[in-house]
Structure 1
Amino acid sequence: MFKKNNKLSYQVFFLVICLGVLLLSSISFYRIKGTNNESSDLEPKVIIDGIISAEEYEFQASFSNDAFKLYWTISGENISFGMIGTTSGWVSIGFEPTNVMKDADMVFGAVLTNGTTIFLDAYSTGQFGPHPADTSLGGSTDISIYAGSENGASTTIEFQRKLSTGDTFDFIIPTEGSVSIIWAFGSSEDFFVKHDRAGYGTINISSGESSSGAPPLWPYHAALMIISFLLLIAGWIVAHFYRSQRWWYRTHRLLSLIGSIFGVLGLIMGIIMVSLTTKAHFRVAHSILGLITIIFLVFQPISGILLSKIRFKRKERKIAHRWIGRILYLLMVASIVLGFLEALIL
């Protein structure tokens, strides 16, 4: 009897041990499974299909009141981007331009009317383009996957590439820190047709922080320069047509002086504008011509004051003063026209 009970006790003990092991295994499996599910819910899963769903990407940034949106996620040695532009045409992004558009590693995408997505891996060779394909410059196309969609109001483009492609014409995207970008979109499906909207910005690859380009200051710069030009023209009119009046000289001098002040303020505004955007000071025709114009603008009233104070060779100085004024007017017209042309390009 004792032996039977002893045998039964061993069986019960063995059964309890087995049940305990099964219970512990089940708990461990449940915990592991639960942890994996939680992790997968937190990790973005990017699917390059031309559709950007909520929380698909780890980071996102918006520019110009949501006119352009950028999404990105780093996965190992690859980075995936999504971009949405409020257009039915092409959308593009450029990385790390050195001077306006120059040296930017650019990617263009568009969706044709038949639903086909087209792409261009490009590089900007000049300040305002052109931006030929990397392959035409001796590089390679390094967009591994791409897709797009278009709904009439906006175009969505997604693509994936390596952080470092090994291509001379591709920017090596860091895993952390800030990257300067330019963005643009156009109403055409032709990548070489001028954009409708464009802008500058900065994104932090690792934190997701972003900042838009500086607010457009060029209208204020242009307004100051135009006011300066009009004041100088008014001063010339007074000197040319109202010389018989007693007040002509003081009025002419006052208009010239105020016009010069507005011109210098316009130059300062231009320097601030460039400092907040491209930082490319005096590298384009408009800025170089503008600097020469300001030099003439400052010297013109000085020559007029000297003309009234010094009697020596008065006739020669009078002729010089007139010609400096004429050259100044031509320089201002040329500078203003070039400025508007470059503003339209941008």
Structure 2
Amino acid sequence: MATPLIFFSASLLFVLASITAVHSQMDSCDADLSSFLPAPFNTSGLVCKPVWKTFILRYYQSEHNTISIVLSSIYTSGWIAMGFSPDGMMVGSNAMVGWIDTTGRAFIKQYDLRGMSSSDVVVNDGKLRLTSVSPKVVLYGVNIYLMFQVRFSKLVESQEILFAYANEAPNHFLLMKHDDKISISIEFSSGASTASSSPSSDLYQLKQKHGVLAIFSWGFLLPLGAIIARYFRHKDPLWYYLHAVIQLLGYLVGLAAVLAGISLYNKLHSNFRSHKGLGISVLVLGSLQVIAFFIRPDKESKLRKYWNWYHHWLGRLALFLAAINIALGLQIGGASL
């Protein structure tokens, strides 16, 4: 009897610690940059604005018309960019592009966007006047940070800024076509911005809901239902009704987690194929368990023992894959227990 109680207590602690860890590791305007970003980009005096999807822009304009910029985003592969445009269009703008290659090396380059094709996007030939402070790229947790300084001839009040990303990294500095982009007017003098896009705080809330629902269902409710079926059969028929109700509730909560995950996946530019694939596999296995409940043979049937074997091992496989996916999700979310 002690073993399931210990496992139950550990699962509860795991849920509470995981929820706290996932929320605390997300990049936000409240994050402390001083521990991992170099000077002069690690100051708390930067204006911070969630601008688009997971993009967060931090900046400071000095009295010498120099703007220090820190651009962050969730990152798995490819590149992210911030461009300065005279009219909000891509052609004619100049952009700073950052990425991490397959060996782990960080790159940040200036590109002159002369046309729509890749050959018209020329590396190291932009018109931005960078300062003597070298541009830098830092990968911290699941977030990438681009840092650079640009000097202007006069105080910048409003500026059309392009934000873009691609899931494919540059090949020999040849920039692959973006997967998505947006033009936003940034009021550098006041800290305001205008764009028809969802704020990043909404994405953080959706991400948190997805994680909490998934952990509560597959990390708590469904294992609890399995423990009751395994160790409390002497409480017949109470164990059966508890098992059925808890597993059905866990499945519904897990389904809500999947729907939140699909919505999140469609709004983010990151491509977490392993997490998505495992999530779909677990949902299919859970659905098969629900179907099996309605076609359960009678106790006297010769097929009952095969049904029991199917039900037990399919359930164990689903919980095992779910545990792996929860751990993978925590890693993607930047959490560590």
Q: 1:265 aligns with which of 256, 259, 269?
A: 256
Q: Report the CA distance between 1:82 and its aligned residue.
A: 2.5
Relative to the length of structure 1, the TM-score reads: 0.50
Q: 1:250 to 1:312 in 2, by over 3 A?
A: same
- Contact 2:80 2:164 survives alignment (8 Å): no
Q: Report the CA distance between 1:205 and its aligned residue.
A: 4.5
- Contact 1:224 1:262 survives alignment (8 Å): yes
Q: Report the CA distance between 1:304 and its aligned residue.
A: 3.1
Partner of 2:268: 277
Q: Report the CA distance between 1:261 and its aligned residue.
A: 0.3
Matches within 5 A, 1:141-290: 142=126, 144-146=129-131, 157-159=148-150, 179-180=163-164, 203-205=183-185, 209-210=194-195, 212-215=199-202, 216=204, 217-229=206-218, 230-244=220-234, 245-278=236-269, 283-290=272-279
**Percent of aligned pairs sharing the same letter:** 19
Q: Report the CA distance between 1:253 and its aligned residue.
A: 1.1
- Aligned letter for 2:184? N
- Aligned letter for 1:325? G
Whether 1:330 and 2:320 are equivalent positions in the alignment is: yes
Matches within 5 A, 1:99-178: 102-105=78-81, 123-124=98-99, 131-134=106-109, 140=124, 142=126, 144-146=129-131, 157-159=148-150
Residue segments in structure 2 that go unaligned for 5+ positions in a row? 1-39, 84-95, 111-121, 135-146, 153-158, 167-180, 188-192
- Contact 2:82 2:161 survives alignment (8 Å): no
Q: Report the CA distance between 1:103 and its aligned residue.
A: 2.7
Q: 2:332 aligns with which of 305, 318, 342?
A: 342
Partner of 1:6: none
**Secondary structure, counterpart of 2:78 in structure 1:** coil
Q: 1:130 to 1:262 in 2, by over 3 A?
A: farther
Q: Report the CA distance between 1:133 and its aligned residue.
A: 4.7
Q: Report the CA distance between 1:324 and its aligned residue.
A: 0.5
Relative to the length of structure 2, the TM-score reads: 0.51
**Secondary structure, counterpart of 2:58 in structure 1:** strand
Higher relative contact order, chain-length normalized (CA < 8 Å, sep 6+): 2
Q: 1:141 to 1:291 in 2, by over 3 A?
A: farther
Partner of 1:316: 306
Residue segments in structure 1 that go unaligned for 5+ positions in a row? 1-49, 52-59, 73-79, 85-90, 108-120, 150-155, 162-174, 183-200
RMSD: 4.5
Partner of 1:21: none
Q: Report the CA distance between 1:214 and its aligned residue.
A: 4.3
Q: 1:103 to 1:252 in 2, by over 3 A?
A: same
CA distance in 1, matches of 2:101, 2:259: 26
> Deviation string for 1:221-273 (max 9, x for gaps)?
11111111211111111111111222221221111111100100001111222
- Contact 2:130 2:148 survives alignment (8 Å): no
